[in-house]
Chains A and B, each alone.
Chain A
């Protein structure tokens, strides 16, 4: 069942109050709504850019740190400027947004402000009625999103178990790419699982820092019940992105198990399997199917005690496989990590 409403939720800049929005996100997805969560401390520009890229029906903002009248107005104005005024805006802030504020905000184009004590059902009903079935989603790059490159972009697939650090790794690669090539345009296609029969929480953006940039186009897809870590729309999006004038396209799968080989029939030009150094025993290593086909194996979390052993074991494991495979040890969470530098060079060459 395709979700009928797709929302982007976020907490404004200089505000870390994510408790309310975390609860609301869960309620939304349990009621069939797809939520792209951008996280806290996000600027109006970041929010509007993400909303347009993600093709959402509306933006929900949870603000508890004041300055909401200006902030919401900025979001509405930016949407208008980007010719995306059809994207709705709603929000709340417990008791911090007064009735008088809400009146001003609604006059400035905010659809609805929820006050403290609003039952969750009312919020869900509102989201469905106001934003449900608004428009058909197409696999098309939004206005102003495409890059300028004439040739087809190389596509790099990144997969691996959940928690291995795939999203962090992409974000760190993006940082390097944008620094080395200031006119670079990068596309990211990310995947998150849907709960069967329900919505999906697409949360990769919330942990990304450097990919919140006008030069980066990112789209988050829900798997919608598809096995293997990708979505029914994946192939179409990859094609669109490859021809979208970008310099590189990253495709990140959901966290996969041992048997999965998500990238079929030349979907990607290069595949990276990211694993954590704490995979368990050597026997477990033998069972990981992706190790046989990945072009690059990244052993992340190289700061863990068992990392040197892991790198050696993985090296031995793939030696017996096809030639040309590389093993790179990284600590993606570390700033300026030499391992990530090395991976970056490998991908650029």
Chain B
């Protein structure tokens, strides 16, 4: 039986298990006594907190019912925060001010990338000047995302637009200059997929150049590297799927061994959602992709408890009602699948979640309304106990975000977490409502149905090749367009209370000047010239490793010392071919 079918069975078995515990709590006096004893201990362990207005509250919200069946349903069905199946959260305390000396989750993570490496570096320093922990989230420009050099034919206009231009290990040194890459409080996120192994190799090589070899084991951060969702939704895959998966597995094998604090893949629903998928499709495709990676890495002989804790997820959060509970359901399904199908321990059962507010929900017309949209999405993201979060800037529909709107987006998170009393006094203030439970049940059922469909098509890889997810997403996107067109999906300022286009004052747009683009081209050419005697041989050696089945990532760490991104992808294309798009 395939993994997805087994996961569906495990979820059903878990539901039966929960029902059985509820029955025993009500009918079996010995079981009930033990349960109530545990419940009292849990209650007693919860600290209280005084709000600024002087009322006293527990730091964790638990069901108030004294019905043993209800208590069993909560403990086994949802799990106490930090306990299986982690519906409420993967850790006991999330955003509460530190207790017992532990740092609370500090979830704000802001995506940035513009111009050349030093421009983005400056933005990073600006963004993090007052933060205790430094979390750098990097956006790359189009040529980098597609593994092309800045001096490639026809890409000049794209250099540094929408993200930072990275061609060489030297650019990577400039990008994170004046940041202590081995620091406990620093982590780096890089949103890159097709060329992810090459870019990560450049990062590791750059860190090593600056801090020596000992820094490598200390490096913290993530690369997206989610190739499946690229085929299904985002189209930023450059090598054929089979080769891409092999390069990914090589990278994961290497980081598991040598970069123990690195998250080598961010399994992403965000782009699936942004491409048009419904929330249920987003959850179903993302989770099933995640399980496929687990099978792949296990197939490479890696132990699930070694790499499992280093997998993380990235979901979209929009304005549809499903987002009230979507991540809660995802955590549960992941935990059950990992434990019962893959035999993973607790660390690998926890779905670590990064959320980003929906870019698609933002519109250019009357763009300041986007502040409100993003604020509501942020609330939903935290309601779902996300571990980290990026809030979009209101000006994103038309430009790389300007500093003013970036600051507003960051402050929206601080207002929510620090200024309001919604998340800082009590965990799970809003969970457990009947409405939320109904939503969870509805979503779970629909996601499992999608799993079964994918399973019938032969599993995730076969379905992907048959363009199943892709066509479903396109259909949903088409429906969304129709609904916004005919107004059945109200969008304020667009199809309802239209914003006057006359009064639309175009805000400041951030663009990379021509001279900067030329600078990038010039220094790339100099790099190539300086390494002209080494690069051909290094590329030959890389090709040899690909052909002989060795670990490509380990070799890339050497190749990037003297070859540019485009030189490397160019050579790899010769050996493994290019990705063939499907439409």
Contact of B485 among A12, A70, A74, A119 (CB under 8 A): A119
CB-based contact B157/A22 at 8 Å: no
Best-buried of A17, A19, A70, A99 by chain B (most CB within 10 Å)? A19
CB-based contact B509/A14 at 8 Å: no
CB-based contact B153/A45 at 8 Å: yes
Which of B24-32, B140-148, B317-325 sits within the interface?
Answer: B140-148
CB-based contact A22/B397 at 8 Å: no
Bound CA span A150–B367, Å: 62
Contact of A14 among B146, B364, B511 (CB under 8 A): B146
A128 interface residue per 8 A CB criterion:
no
Which of A83-91, A202-210, A230-238, A252-260 sits within the interface?
Answer: A202-210
Bound CA span A17–B581, Å: 13
Q: Chain B residues with Cβ under 8 A from A335's Cβ?
A: 240, 243, 575-577
Chain B's closest residue to A303 (CB) is B242
Known contacts A23-B477, A98-B398; A13/B161 CB under 8 A: no
Q: Chain B residues with Cβ under 8 A from A39's Cβ?
A: 581, 583
| Chain A: number of interface residues, binned into ranges | 35 or more
Chain B's closest residue to A206 (CB) is B583
A312 interface residue per 8 A CB criterion:
no
CB-based contact A41/B146 at 8 Å: yes
Bound CA span A249–B153, Å: 29
B155 interface residue per 8 A CB criterion:
yes
| Chain B: number of interface residues, binned into ranges | 35 or more
CB-based contact A209/B578 at 8 Å: yes
Known contacts A14-B158, A116-B365; A209/B509 CB under 8 A: no
Bound CA span A206–B275, Å: 18
CB-based contact A19/B236 at 8 Å: no
Tell me the dominant secondary structure on chain B's binding face.
loop
Chain B's closest residue to A205 (CB) is B583
Contact of B580 among A14, A96, A207 (CB under 8 A): A207
B515 interface residue per 8 A CB criterion:
no
Known contacts A15-B142, A67-B157; A96/B583 CB under 8 A: no
CB-based contact B494/A67 at 8 Å: no
A196 interface residue per 8 A CB criterion:
no
CB-based contact B161/A65 at 8 Å: yes
CB-based contact A41/B235 at 8 Å: yes
Interface bits A34-71 vs B (CB < 8 Å: 1, else 0): 00010111011100000000000000000001111111
Known contacts A23-B477, A99-B506; A66/B582 CB under 8 A: no
B474 interface residue per 8 A CB criterion:
yes
CB-based contact A14/B148 at 8 Å: yes
A225 interface residue per 8 A CB criterion:
no
Contact of A70 among B145, B157, B363, B364 (CB under 8 A): B157
Bound CA span A171–B477, Å: 30
CB-based contact A22/B477 at 8 Å: yes
B162 interface residue per 8 A CB criterion:
yes
Closest 7 CB pairs of A and B: A70-B157, A14-B142, A16-B235, A335-B577, A66-B161, A95-B364, A95-B397
- 12 A-B residue pairs with Cβ-Cβ distance under 8 Å, sorted by A, are A22-B583, A40-B235, A43-B153, A67-B155, A67-B159, A70-B157, A94-B397, A119-B485, A120-B485, A206-B581, A334-B240, A336-B577
Chain A interface (Cβ within 8 Å of chain B)? 12-19, 22-23, 26, 37, 39-41, 43-45, 65-71, 74, 94-100, 115-117, 119-120, 168, 171, 203, 206-207, 209, 333-336
Having A41-B146, A65-B142, one finds 9 other A-B pairs with CB under 8 Å, namely A19-B276, A40-B581, A66-B142, A66-B161, A67-B161, A70-B158, A95-B367, A203-B583, A334-B240
